[in-house]
Structure 1
Amino acid sequence: MDIDINLRNDKAGLLAYFRSRANEIVSELALLYSAADYKKKASALNKAIIQSKENLLSIVEETAKNQHWTNCEILECVLMITYANDVVMLESRNAVWQYDYMAFSRRVGELWEPFCKLCFKYPTTRIASFIPPLFSEVKASLTTEIATYIDRLVIKTEEKSQLKRYYDKVWGLVTSGEIQLECDLHFTDGTTKYIVDFKSGFGSNEKGNTNRLLLVGSIYRNIETENYKCLIFVRSTENNHYLTTLQNSGVWETSCGSDTYSKIRRFTGFDIHRWIENHVDWMNDFAPQMRETVTHNDLQNYLIW
């Protein structure tokens, strides 16, 4: 396969390349796994197909650097490679272990987040990634701040100690351990630091995740030394009361569907929605067997990006 800037428009060539790679991988795995080990075989197949994508991307990035491609040109190539690889990965897994609706909806949802995040890896704007703070650091800073405030109060030493004990009890109620402040994406535009959580959709089992996001968002909101803003990017426009809870919390700014793509364009400078409309066509790009599975099990709605 020729590695040049024209890859960004060569969907057919990339699909053919990854299908050939998948056939090679399946042949190798047939020597390692029996038909009864289809779950292990499917897992190994997914990993190998993803690795073939990473190998191609590393060559593309090296070529792009040598030929001085723009970030937009690199991104268009990377998106096409990623999408073609996703198509073949879904096909190959289905051939080994046919998808049911739960596994299929979850897998397609999992593919959406890293796909969108590529826009932030190759932006045309001046955004940059940053390392999120550790909870231990935030807790220590807030504890010092409270302790300093209490020490300045004109009250007895005993009362100061009691207030500090009460403060420690509150931390104990909040958590019995460390809280993960790292989310899906962290970037800054030089003025504001954005914390982003991607979500394919809010279904029936989101209580735990919602409570965690409320806690994490509240912690970021109370870090006064930095200007943090928490965002939730949702693919689906059909969500439930858990998203409404986050929308009404005052700590997370949420967007769904086309609004999410508008936000991505605003921050990165790339119109990912237009790219998807022009290039993503799952049903026509799938091989016949995969297309039959999707149609027979009525899975088309899960392919709406």
Structure 2
Amino acid sequence: MVSYNDKITLINYFRSVAERELCSIVRSTHDYRKQASKINTVIKDQKDCTIDEMLQTARHSRWSNEYVLDCVLHITYASYVVMLEFRNKVWPYEYMAFARRIGELWEPFCKETFSYPVKKLRLINPPDFDEVQEDIKRNASNYINSLSVDYQTKRLLHYHYSIPWNLVDSGGIQLGLDLHFSQNGINYNCDFKSGFSSNEKGNTNRLLLVASIYRFLNQNEKTLLFVRQREDENNHYLQTLKNSGYWDVFCADDAYAKMYEFTGFNLRLWLNENATWSDDISNELYLHLQNKDLLKYLTW
């Protein structure tokens, strides 16, 4: 029986699962990339299964929302520790891969506090751009038809209005972000970002476009950006978003404070007390990261 909020027990449990599967994975393929992918999948599947088992127990025993979330975070964190360890066994981490991986794990970890919130909120689906587009066209068409002008003028107005829409590739515009939820009558559309580097121009332009569409849709639509790094660790692309008027940007501890405001759970405090990466990872991984000067990236 796994203790669902005992970090050490959980880490050892996931290690035993990974050790059991690693030999067969190594025998099945000599491609270290495939080995890494397979061992990650094994650990993730076991993490999902463990959470499902915990939720069944929670429903039967009527655990509080906060206790359930605490268990989800412990299970997820323990799986991350072991995922990093065993990926490193088959494909040792270099700088870019490790820095990117730590950032990739951060987003779904933060989102758990919204999936199992202490305060009341509702996860929602993002709007479909094709439906948004048709609604805008319909309203504009009705307005043009209502004007006190002759038929030829109306046809000309419809034609000129259609030109920019013909230039838009609707299939290329996705309004889905990392997280969408509703609370107190407001829809929040959120993106999580580990940090902004020199190659973020395309992503920045997309975020500006998406946020501008949300702003047009409804005054009750808000777009939020949560950034793992401190503001001074990011480049000018973050400032572009912050100064645009379309995004409310929260970095580092400010991001955790805002999440706390929405979810009622202090993730910053939880991480301070439980996410002691350097103490929790294996000696093998610790020495590898130390030799590669990568320990500094073990921070959330």
The TM-score with structure 2 as length reference comes to: 0.96
Residue 152 of structure 1, aligned match among 146, 167, 175: 146
Structure 1 residue 174: deviation in Å?
4.1
Give the equivalent residue in structure 1 for 2:183.
189
1:139 aligned partner, one-letter code: Q
Q: Which segment drifts farther, 214-223 or 291-300?
A: 291-300
- Residue pairs, 1:7-86, within 5 angstroms: 7-8=4-5, 10-34=6-30, 37-86=31-80
Cα distance in 1 for residues equivalent to 2:186 and 2:273: 32
The TM-score with structure 1 as length reference comes to: 0.94
Cα distance in 2 for residues equivalent to 1:247 and 1:171: 28
Distance 1:178 1:160, change over 3 A: farther
1:229 aligned partner, one-letter code: K
Cα distance in 1 for residues equivalent to 2:105 and 2:27: 29
Give the equivalent residue in structure 2 for 1:304.
299
Residue 136 of structure 1, aligned match among 120, 130, 136: 130
Superposition RMSD in Å: 1.3
2:157 aligned with 1:163: yes
Q: Deviations over 1:218-239 (max 9, x none)?
A: 1111113x61000001000111
Cα distance in 2 for residues equivalent to 1:211 and 1:68: 46
Cα distance in 2 for residues equivalent to 1:302 and 1:180: 31
Aligned length: 298
Give the equivalent residue in structure 2 for 1:232.
225
Q: Is the 8 A contact 2:2 2:13 kept in 1?
A: no
Structure 1 residue 175: deviation in Å?
3.3
Give the equivalent residue in structure 2 for 1:102.
96
Q: Is the 8 A contact 1:136 1:178 kept in 2?
A: no
Q: Is the 8 A contact 1:135 1:178 kept in 2?
A: no
Q: Is the 8 A contact 1:123 1:268 kept in 2?
A: yes
Q: Is the 8 A contact 2:130 2:170 kept in 1?
A: no
Give the equivalent residue in structure 2 for 1:254.
249
SS class of match (2:81): helix
Q: Is the 8 A contact 1:197 1:232 kept in 2?
A: yes
2:280 aligned with 1:285: yes
Aligned-residue identity in percent: 46
Cα distance in 1 for residues equivalent to 2:13 and 2:145: 68
Give the equivalent residue in structure 1 for 2:208.
214
Q: Deviations over 1:24-44 (max 9, x none)?
A: 01022122112xx11111111
Q: Is the 8 A contact 2:286 2:295 kept in 1?
A: no
Q: Is the 8 A contact 1:125 1:269 kept in 2?
A: yes
Give the equivalent residue in structure 1 for 2:237.
242
SS class of match (2:217): coil
Structure 1, unaligned stretches of length 5 or more?
A: none
Runs of 4+ aligned residues of structure 1 deviating over 4 Å after TM superposition are none
Q: Is the 8 A contact 2:129 2:170 kept in 1?
A: no
Q: Is the 8 A contact 2:214 2:221 kept in 1?
A: yes
Q: Is the 8 A contact 1:247 1:253 kept in 2?
A: yes
